[in-house]
Structure 1
Amino acid sequence: MQSLQAQLEELGPVLLTVGLNILWALLAVAATWIAAKLVSRAVNRLSERGIDETLVPVLETLAVWATYVVGGLVILDIFGANTTSLVALLGATGLAVGLALKDTLQSIAAGFVLLGLRPFRVGETIQFGSTIGTVRKIGLFTTEMDTPDGLRISAPNDKVWGETLTNFTRNASRRIEIIASIAYGDDIETGMRVLHELVSQEPRILAEPEPAYAVRALADSSVNLHLRAWVKTDEYWDVYWALMKKLKPALEQEGLTIPFPQRQLHIVSGDAKKIVAEQDAAQR
């Protein structure tokens, strides 16, 4: 009995120390969680102070994970762990994991390149490869976009950076190209006048650069007239659709014909027909 009591007296300080360590560890966990939330909110407020919102998600992720790492080291230190050796072990483990996940690291590296060079920002519409969409978020691993048909896609950053990027909204203005096809029997100057009138009736077309008019091609079944005009980027599709809607009635009002592909058949009769038939038979 005395031996048990003596053991309890010896274990008392140890249990007290362990209990206090657990209590401090729980407090450290709670403090880390609260600190991470505060850091996240603080980073999100950076966009209100002029920081590009494209950078905010990545900065938030890095800051939150850094907070968790510091909190974890503090908790380990409370229990007397050798944090110096642990950091070295984590470094070696990180190297091994990095070699195993080299494709993921490529996405992270590409993400930093995208954030550094800024070929596009949040809210801009881009195309890489066959993918078109409006950028919603650039993360460490993926770029999130909304496609024109309302789908949300996540593309690995290395795939985005590895393709030729087209930014549709970076420049303030964009050029519209309209092709008006008229028949060979129609007057070209009348067709040009129709294009001039369409431009004069559309106030959203910019005066500078000046619209350009030309005969683009003498096609198989038509003469193709070409209009090039500049508009504000955010008005591009509205103006394009408006011009296309007015083009056909305007051409028809001037008596011009919009041709369609056609072939002329020459019927050979008499001796000429016989000669053609003999030539076809010989070729067979």
Structure 2
Amino acid sequence: MDAIALQEIIAQYAPDAMAIGIRAASALAMILIGYWAAKFISGLTRKAMVKRDIDSTLTNFLAKLVFCILFALAAIPALAHAGIQTASVIAALGAAGLAVGLALQGSLANFAAGVLLIAFRPCRVGDWIDAGGCSGSVESISLFSTILLTGDYKRIVIPNAKVMSDAITNYSAMPRRRIDLIVGISYDADMRVAKEILQKLVAADERILKDPAPTIAVSELANSSVNLVCRPWVATSDYWPTRWKLTEDIKTEFDAAGVGIPYPQMDVHFHKQA
């Protein structure tokens, strides 16, 4: 190939090559600008959520989601500007997203429930709850599952969709709880003595709150017993120790005072036939 032929080739293709180079450079600049803009806005989103004390798991996820969406919005026009046909790419991504969504619909339901759990916080780490048919202390809440530790230290992993599909009972949410005891005494026992014993025991325990005042009253005249209710209020952390101690003391004091506590009995009569 001589010099004249080379010059003709350069003269023929140089404008197109220059135009392609300019489009490629401008597309690359658009991608870089979009990347830094997405990173900047994602950082602002993260800082705003941290200031509002939003859970770190949700904060990190939303910040990354904002970055990916903004970067995609910048990258697709840049590719189109470079001369790449993006319609087929967008259609392929949409079809792939639909297929993945159908395949992972259960996981997506858990994810959506996890976002709601983290955002609305019906329970926090360390709370004792009933949820999803299980009871335990919340060890962690992730985007897909909630982990509980039972009283005998078993770990239960519950899908978030199951947690959100039913009622969540949080025993640790409030600073105080009421102990509900039902004490049955026999019909021939002195009811006034029984109530005085309950009032004395409630007043003697320093863990029992004075406000709200405890309730001691007759609740029912049952088949074989007169049922008294004893309802003192305690701090949430004192609930079980106080309940156990009060139950034991009631039995001890009733025995000492001769107040009978009935138990179910059945009388069987035999009839002798002639």
Shift of 1:134: 1.4
State the superposition RMSD in angstroms: 3.7
Match of 2:172 in 1: 169
Alignment-derived partner of residue 121 in structure 1:
124
TM-score, normalization by structure 2? 0.69
Q: Which of the numbers 235, 241, 246 marks the counterpart of 1:243?
A: 246
Which residue number in structure 2 is paired with residue 232 of structure 1? 235
Query: Aligned pair 1:90/2:93, yes or no?
Result: yes
Distance apart, 1:59 and its partner CA: 2.9
Q: Deviations over 1:155-179 (max 9, x none)?
A: 1111000011111111111110112
Partner of 1:60: 60
Match of 2:222 in 1: 219
- Do residues 142 (structure 1) and 134 (structure 2) align? no
> Which digits, 9 at most, give the CA deviation of each residue in 1:61-84, with x for residues without a partner?
55568889999xxxxx9xx9x696
Whole-angstrom CA distance in 2 between matches of 1:100 and 1:182: 61
Q: Structure 1's 266 and 153: CA in aligned 2 closer, same or farther, altered over 3 A?
A: closer
CA distance in 1, matches of 2:259, 2:238: 29
Quick one: distance in 1 between partners of 2:68 and 2:139? 26
**2:57 maps to amino acid:** P
Number of aligned residue pairs: give it: 231
Corresponding residue to 1:255 among 251, 255, 258: 258
Question: Structure 1: how far apart are the matches of 2:92 and 2:62?
Answer: 21
CA contact (8 A) 2:132 2:158 kept: no
Aligned residue for 2:53?
51
In the TM superposition, what are the counterparts of 1:14-93 in structure 2 within 5 Å? Answer: 51-52=53-54, 55-61=55-61, 89-93=92-96
- Per-residue Cα deviation, 1:201-252 (whole angstroms, up to 9, x for no partner): 1111111111111112222322221101111111111111111121111111
Amino acid at match of 1:159: K
Q: Does the alignment pair 1:104 with 2:107?
A: yes
Relative to structure 1, the CA distance from residue 134 to residue 227 in structure 2 (aligned partners, 3 Å threshold; closer, same or farther) is same
Say which SS state the counterpart of residue 173 (structure 2) adopts. Answer: coil
Runs of at least 5 residues in structure 1 that lack an aligned partner in the other structure: 1-34, 72-76, 279-284
1:266 deviates by 6.1
Contact 2:132 2:162 in 1 (8 A): no
- Gaps of at least 5 residues in structure 2 are 1-38, 72-77
SS across alignment from 2:265: coil
